[in-house]
Structure 1
Amino acid sequence: MMNTAVHEAAHAVVYMAAGYQIGELVLHEPGDQSHGGRAHVNYLAASGPWLDWAVTCAAGERAEVRWLRETGRWSLERAWVAERLAWRDRSQIGEVYRGGHNRELTFNGDHDDWGDYAWVMDRTDEALDPVWDQVLTLAQHVTVRWHVAGEEAARITGF
């Protein structure tokens, strides 16, 4: 539960830290397939730099892996699961690259190429560092409440 909460809270907090608003953050009951995933963040419509959206999308996976490491739960298998569960997030980043840059997102591990997912992950880690405590605070809150309205998420995290 906390793993999922950290993933979704990171999406929400990074989005709010960039100056945008969310409508809600919801954890779904285990096994509930009606929403297409284990949880979701409803983002309120916004316009801004493409990198804000790419970093928001990557934030869940990066936070999930960071939390696993920091709590001593990381394993190759769990990291693989975090990556696989982020397929929709990675697809959304790919759409930004195709639609906005007429370029395919690559996965070559090239930290110097802005078109590679490794570069996006580096920017995401930079965005997560200053808000990490806020991510954990919101994650803890959502594990108790399961549904957090956007205004409540902003208040809890200080936005």
Structure 2
Amino acid sequence: MTTTPAPATTWHHDTRVLDQPYPTRNHAPNAVGDDTDTRLNLDPTQLDYLRAIHEAGHAVTVLTGQAHLHSAKIVTGEATTQEGGVTYACHLADGHAYAIFSAAGERAVDRWLREAGLWTPERAVAVEEGAHGDRASFLAINPHVGFGDRAVDYLVVHDLADQALNTCWEAVLTVARALHRDQYLTGDAIAALAGLPNTPHCTA
């Protein structure tokens, strides 16, 4: 991924995930709770829908990135794993498309919380922490991206995702509603809901 660095931004460094420092753009020094779900402090239906929004953000941006979407699923109720859901995709070869896909989950949730009147700094930080797997996967192959300490600021990745979500937000909401209801959707079903083509899967 190569792009013009974003203007300097302040990342907060008082959060840890998996016992490692974890920079966040939001700040909630008084957040309490042992896990992300607890600190989100949402009712069960809202929490399940939040997970659906996260995966729908990933899934729809796979399609807008002209990659192949296999499926998406969410965990409902009390999470028994570190992840509340997963989106399976392949052929995200374009650097910008992969950046957008990587950040689209957390940025979709942040946007939904704001639009639903549920956004608080504590929830925003919990959402960022919940995206640690997405961030780690992206940073592992983009070591020039960081949090005020590399050539490209991760804020650029957030900005790319926000811009992409602006163009497909209604599709994200449509997919999220169906994923919330069914908990699992195939890539082709998501493509039909979103009104977007699913690039054929190439096994060669």
Counterpart among 171, 176, 179 of residue 139 in structure 1: 176
Deviation at 1:47, TM superposition (A): 4.9
Partners of 2:99 and 2:160 within 8 A in 1: no
Indicate which of 83, 93, 99 corresponds to 2:128. 83
Query: Which amino acid is the alignment partner of residue 6 of structure 1?
Result: I
- Is 2:107 the partner of 1:41? no
Structure 2 distance, partners of 1:47, 1:146, is 24
State the 1:29 CA deviation: 3.4
Q: Is the 8 A contact 2:57 2:105 kept in 1?
A: yes
State the Cα RMSD in Å. Answer: 1.7
Q: Find 1:62's aligned residue among 89, 92, 107.
A: 107
For residue 148 of structure 1, give the secondary structure of its aligned residue in structure 2: strand
CA distance in 2, matches of 1:78, 1:65: 9
Deviations 1:88-138 (A, max 9, x none): 01111201213xxxx2x2113x9xx87111111111111110100000000
1:22 to 63, 66, 69: 69
Separation of aligned partners in 1, 2:160 and 2:151: 10
Aligned to 1:106: 146
> 1-side partners of 2:140 and 2:119: how far apart?
29
Structure 2, unpaired ranges of 5+: 1-47, 197-204
Amino acid at match of 2:171: Q
Alpha-carbon distance in 1 for matches of 2:57, 2:76: 20
Deviations 1:47-95 (A, max 9, x none): 5212211110100011100000011000011101100000001111201
Identity %: 30
Aligned to 1:2: 49
Is the deviation greater in 114-123 or in 64-73? 114-123
Helix, strand or coil: the match of 2:141?
Answer: helix
8 A Cα contact 2:62 2:92, kept in partner: no
Return the letter of the residue paired with 2:147: F
Are 2:139 and 1:94 aligned? yes
The aligned amino acid for 2:58 is H
Q: Which has the higher helix share?
A: 1
Secondary structure of the equivalent of 2:86?
A: strand
Superposition pairs for residues 138-157 of structure 1, below 5 Å?
A: 138-157=175-194
1:61 maps to a residue whose letter is E
TM-score, normalised relative to structure 2 = 0.69
* Number of residue pairs the alignment of both structures matches: 149
